[in-house]
Amino acid sequence: MSSTQIILTENIPGLGAEADVVKVRRGFARNFLLPQGKAYEVTKSTMRKLDMLKAKRAEREAKELNEAEEIARRIGKSKMIFTLETGESGKAFGSVTANDIAMRLKNEVGAEIERHRIVLEHPIKSTGEHELSIKLHADVTATLKFTVKSATEPKPEVEETPEPGTRTRTPRPREKK
């Protein structure tokens, strides 16, 4: 199979970032990357453009890093409370998933975070304090602390005790006629 070298002009998942010189198959370059403007062929003139692309990439990466750090600060300050329906024994009927956390972060923090970036080994099914990490950038990881409460708070059982001196009466079974 024949391959060719190209210079990427934007991030392409699984292939590389902008200003990377990569080898790809000729058909992929000729039919997809070059016509859509996602890459340049490696020539003397495009090698001169490489410095401009590297500067553009460094600027973009610095901007993404600053945005990730700002979002991490906002996530660290947030106080979230999730409620779960629980039974009498305290067992949860539902769970708090990564998707639930991502939706709440979008509403409360104002940052749209993909659910795949939330590090959650398994859905949370217990009440109490929880802590998890969110990978916002290759260099930035935020820590989210939140509380899970029961939607039906257990009511303390109150025994009715008769006042001293009063008599309690137990009903008698009735006879059938």
DSSP state of 13: T
How does pLDDT run along the chain (177 residues), one tens digit per residue? 689 999 998 889 899 988 899 999 999 999 999 999 999 999 988 888 888 888 888 998 999 999 999 999 999 998 888 888 887 776 778 888 899 999 999 998 888 888 888 988 888 888 889 999 999 888 899 999 999 888 776 555 555 565 666 666 676 777 776
All structural domains of the chain: 3-66 (3.40.5.10), 75-150 (3.10.430.100)
Structure token pair of residue 69? 């750090």
SS (H, E, C) 28-83: HHHHHHCCCCCEEECCHHHHHHHHHHHHHHHHHHHHHHHHHHHHHHHHHHCCEEEE
The full DSSP string for 132-175 is EEEE-SSS-EEEEEEEEEESSPPPPP----PPTTPPP-PPPPPP
Which residue is associated with the tokens 């972060």? 105
